[in-house]
Structures are given as structure tokens and as C-alpha cells.
Amino acid sequence: MSEAEHFRRTFIADTNRYKIVRMYFKGGRRTIATGLTLEEAQRHCQDPETSSRTATSSAARARTRRMGPWFDGYEKE
């Protein structure tokens, strides 16, 4: 992490931290990232690869075959 990023995370604006949670429609959830800013969490969740409906990577397609529909969301830690 750069010095500027460390300063921003430590002293400026929203000091809340968020986690990314992968949720499966058949039930179950798994935390896949922690300690993110709101902006980082939102950016992650806007990526098409964070939902079974829009993901195209081989890993995401395999996850969907194995686990059924899923999506990533974020929650305050």
C-alpha cells in the first residue's frame, strides 16, 4: 500500500471497513475479502465477474456449475 493510500485510509473520510461476501442462492455464504474501503467494495461488486449471471471466466462458470447461482455483495465489518 502506498503512503498516500495509507494516509487516506487512516485519516480521511469514511473510516468504516467493508467485507466482500459471496452469497449462493441455494444457501450459504463465504467471506472473500476484508478490510476494504466503501469505494473498493463498490468497485469490486461492479465487476461483471462478481455474479454468476454476468461472469464469463472459466473459474466463475465452474463455480456456477458446482454451486448454482451466486453473487458478491459487501457488508460493513
DSSP codes of every residue in the chain: --HHHHHHHHHSS----EEEEEEETTS-EEEEEEEE-HHHHHHHHHSGGGBTTT--SHHHHHHHHHH-SEEEEEEE-
Distance CA 34, CA 17 (A): 8
Distance CA 63, CA 46 (A): 19
- pLDDT at residue number 12: 61
From first to last of the 77 residues of the chain, give the pLDDT tens digit. 677 676 666 666 668 999 999 999 999 999 999 999 999 999 999 999 999 999 999 999 999 999 999 999 999 99
